[in-house]
Amino acid sequence: METQTIINMGLGVILTVVGWFARQIWETTQNLQRDLHDLEVNLPTNYVQKSDYSETMKRIEVMFERIFDRLDQKADR
């Protein structure tokens, strides 16, 4: 074989590998963008709803009031 043929075959193989790698990166980037878009769309529904948060905070406040009342009773003795 001639030297030019070997160089051409080597470059062909190298460019094929580089092309495959670039395509894999492109597909991965596209999948990542799609996943990010899905996350942006679905994220507001995954937060704690305001009504649930308010209800939980009210329960915590009641518990704190009971604790403070008991502490006041202990301090009065």
Question: Which of 14, 62, 7, 3 has its CA nearest to residue 70?
Answer: 62
What DSSP designation does 49 have?
P
In this predicted structure, the answer to whether residue 77 has a pLDDT above a threshold of 70 is no
Structure tokens at 3: 């030297």
Tell me the Ramachandran region of residue 49: left when phi exceeds 0, alpha when psi lies from -120 to 50, beta otherwise: beta
Give 43 or 76, the one with higher predicted confidence. Answer: 43
Average pLDDT over residues 53-75: 92
Average pLDDT over residues 10-39: 96
The percent of residues in the chain predicted with pLDDT above 70, rounded, is 97
Task: Report, in angstroms and rounded to the nearest whole number, the Rg of the chain calculated over CA atoms.
Answer: 32
**pTM assigned to the model:** 0.51
In this predicted structure, the answer to whether residue 66 has a pLDDT above a threshold of 70 is yes
- 58: Cβ contacts below 8 Å, ≥ 6 apart: none
